[in-house]
A and B are shown apart, each in its own frame.
Chain A
Amino acid sequence: MRRRNFLKLSASACAALAALRLGDKDVFRPAQAKTALATPKLPGSLGAKEITSVCEMCFWRCPIVGKVKNGRLVKIEGNPNSPANGTRICARGNSGIQLLYDPDRIKYPLKRTGARGEGKWARISWDEALDEVAHNLKEIKKKYGPHALAFFDHGASAEFMRDIFKTLGTENYTNEPAFFQCVGPAALAYLKTYGYVTSGTRQYVDMKNAKAMLFIGTHIGENVHVSHVKEFIEGLQNGAKLVVVDPRYSAAAAKADVYLPIRPGTDTALLLAWMNFIITEGLYNKEFVEKHCTGFDELKKAVKGYTLQWASPICDLPVKDMKRAILLIADNSPHVSIHPGRHSTWYGRGDTGRHQALAIMAALFGAVGVKGGLYFPTPIKKGHPDFGCAEEEPDTPAKSISEDYYPFASTFGSPTSKIIEATITGKPYPVKLWGINGVNIIQTISNPYHTMKAIKKLDFVFCEEILPTETAIWSDIVLPGATYLERYDAVYTFDLMTPYLTVRQPVVAPMFEVRSSFWIARELAKRIGLECFNYNNEVEFIEEELKGAGLSLKELNKKGGIISYKANPYRSSKEFKVATEDGKVQLAVEDFADEDLDPIPKFIPTPAPPKGYVRLVYGRSPVHTFSRTMNNKWLHNEVPENHLWLNEKVAELTGIKDGEEVILENQDGYRSWPIKVKVTPGIRPDTAYMIHGFGSRSKQLSKAYKQGASDQFMVTEYEDDPFMGASSHRTNFIRIVRAGKVINLPELCPPPKDIPRFIPKKNRTGGK
């Protein structure tokens, strides 16, 4: 080079430069032919290497194929060999690439360096992070006992860390918000009626072959799980009739033959009246009930007083419409899908009962084990690796969070609301450490203000996270978890109508210093001194699981990453047997009666909105999952914010315009961030609706931060389900604040006298 004299360094600086260890030795190496940029001229994903795996953009776990070019994931498609979704994946499935390559993601272990929640972090090594977590787990257990440790988790990858908490001897090792904030009441109702969880993560309901379907609040189409939606649409294409009961005109309601815009909180009244109608009109399946059910006489007696005429003012529905709807179902029985629903933590007190009523109704129609009805899972054989996690002798606390508050909580774990209370009050015993994995608890659990108050009381809180959510910001140590595209998980079996076995495996190498959940749990166990996780890596135990299915990972991959099986969903009358003690469907649940709970559901009125307020309900967007995907660029582009659905008459009377930005104020005075109003006839005047998961309060989520309003931050009032302790989410009410001025909303559907009005905390005298 003909050098100009731009740079003149002193001799000492030159010497210093020469002497410095500049770390350039291991940065580059000569290119190897095999790593040369492959097929550069082929456009898009053509010529890409294909790796089969399993999606985790929601919990449905669709089989996928990752297309990798030059070390970069360029496209995700459905696994063409999948009998469930085929090549189809949803918008979220496509957008997994954006999660993987989101610059906001957590890249290294982080340690809080400022006050908790202040958001000051420093990157630390894995050794330091794991040592610190292990130290705190040991010390807190030593000081306060094992139950001072609590674990909040969601998803398959959290299971390894859960094993650590379990092995440490706490009863608070499985407090999945998935159960206690979502599916718990439905799961319990079906478990006790049929002996298996007809509605848990998945719903065993044969919509594809149904002649009629009944949805109570279920909004498939907005709530998208590919094979589930596919079966619903195929059912409609085959001519199935559809009844939708929902205070909001949902995507499913738009396809309904009968749409019943019910008053929120009165679904059980409708179901009880329908059951009475079915029985008194002789529309039930007498043979099925006689042969395969117990408790019919008690049921008949219990529902006797619930007539359609009684239900009409309560549900705010005309008798003729209610009758038309149930006749439509009855005329097509037994081939009817009484959809069990999933998210069922609505109103607290009546939630288990509502889903029990749905379960009973399916049985009354004989819609179980037949085409179009509820069906039986098809178990798929696989090996069960022994991780060797030795459980300590259970040290039952004098008063147990899991067992002593709600009789059926321990079926699922410890109720989240009770753990939070114990953390704040120290009663029934102190909870001092939280581990969190796969769930943004602040945007998930009722009353986030309560949750944040509890976190401030903890001695230590750590999480494994992919994105810097609100939960990460409140953590002392943040462990960077690998996305589903960077890690192995266990073998997955799908036991629904299209049974298959597949495995999640990495599509690309983990970025930065993220690690798989198995690796993290194994390293942590070593440091705590637990004899846990006998396998060196995921492949070892996956091989063990596959061995039980007569396969190896190599063979499975050779077969396209997935093996299909023949479904066995139906039963003849002779074969019919459910998994209850006597093999019969329990129309009256003795276990409930044994605990002084109603063996047959009763109508328990849910308090109506206070004057000036409407009830806040929420739902899903087809392109988002809970609060997990709002920072995803593609999905954000499609649905960047949520809107508040407000009835057009309410809007007209208050002068609120479509598209206007307002603030919401709930009954306890908590205010939301700004949200635009969608004025519509598609919502009842006593109800407002928004999509869940928006209004992120984490500034680090650069696309999601402050986009729309958070329904969760309006849920400050909740009631626990008395059966299993799940917390309600639809027991809150909002009014509108516009330009700083509070607007009371007019009451256009006053509740009948049977329904008491909700009294906000500030107006209560005594009691809660």
Chain B
Amino acid sequence: MSDRPLIQLTLAWIRGFYREPEAIFWVFGFPIVLAFALGIAFKNRGPGELHVGVLRGRWDSSAVLVVDASPALSASILDTAVALNQLRTGRIALLVIPGNPIVYRYDSTRTESRLARLEVDDALQRAGGRADAAMTRDDRVTEPGSRYIDFLIPGLLGMNLMGSGLWGVGFSVVQARTKGLLKRFLATPMRKSEYLFSYMLSRLLFLVIEVGALVGFGWWVFHVGVHGTIAALAVCTVVGAFSFAGIGLLVASRAKTVEAVSGLMNLVMLPMWILSGVFFSYARFPEAMQPFVRALPLTALNDALRGVMVDGASLTGIATPLAVVVGWGATSFLVAVKIFRWR
């Protein structure tokens, strides 16, 4: 075993971390559980079967037969009170009142209801004898790369790199400070820069396991591939891990208590969980917010990761987001070194 301080310090943080079973779960287990749950929930998620009600009365059974025959719809005959209640609570997307004219009762602001109206109308009109004016053919896409899970896995990877970087470094630093360990180190000839850098280094080993676990899981269970090179993915994740370790150091550079640093870390992470396109595309936010959203380190990292995993981009193709990530990490690290509180 080498006796260099940088290696011994790095080993100390790694040991402290993997001997904490809860930490293992939150870093490795939780993202996989999340990926699994979301992957199942959104698997092949289309409109599915839409539930439609038919008001009890004349022609009700023939209307149900026609509507039920459509693969996208399921219909049932309902009494007025029940029908209105189910419509209001969203259990049925649309209420059909047979007659002449046929009345469709639905909430036009609900996408599902409007879809149901189109499908039901189509089925009833065809049954009534309407002919299509032009021939059409459906070409359905379920290619890997375009599914939600393909979007989700790189986002979870980015979120995980952020979380473990901030927690792994920030928590450990503040604990060392509150326990007087920092002061004790200060009483030795240890170089301060080696101490700070050892935290960044300790992140590297976990990185391999963290990324391997999540990417491996995505590939094994959902066949989420890496369309770019493994080398490009490795560069992205190393840059991301280093950067968030630097941000973690900055967040922990002055905090005196574990409570304070926990609050600060949540303050840093929470906006990025929402804004940075982990679970849904940040393109949904208004145009005015886009420059701000894009400047966030997690947004940039997610862009880079999706570039490599989904679009198969090369490193030059993701140079801009990578530069943003590096900028955040380097600036944070330098500021952290300057303002770090040693006791």
- Answer yes or no: are A and B bound together in one complex: no
Residues of B at the A interface (CB closer than 8 Å) are none
